[in-house]
Amino acid sequence: MLPKLLHILIELLIILVFIHALGSWIPQIRESKLYELLDRIVEPMLRPIRQVLPHMGGIDISPMILIFILILIDRLIAR
């Protein structure tokens, strides 16, 4: 029961990270209240990754790395 619940939570987080990354490219979305809420959820998970990554000329790959970490955690829980 708990692994299934964690799986659902991780899938939801992956979707939120993906939407957050896409929304960051669109100024109208970034200024919305919904994106502000999404930023409060996702940004604390992205911040530590950004602190470790070197600057890559304006390209932020931290969402991809976070999604990879979440998938890895999900696979480890499923065992």
* pLDDT tens sequence across 51-65: 999 888 888 999 999
CB atoms within 10 A of CB 13: 18
pLDDT confidence of residue 76:
94
pLDDT tens sequence across 10-49: 999 999 999 999 999 998 988 999 999 999 999 999 999 9
Distance CA 42, CA 18 (A): 10
Range of the domain at 63: 2-51+59-78
pTM beyond 0.85: yes
Q: How many domains, in total, are found in the chain?
A: 1
Q: What is the dihedral of CA 43, 46, 48, 51, to 10 degrees?
A: -100
Structural Rg of the chain based on CA atoms: 14
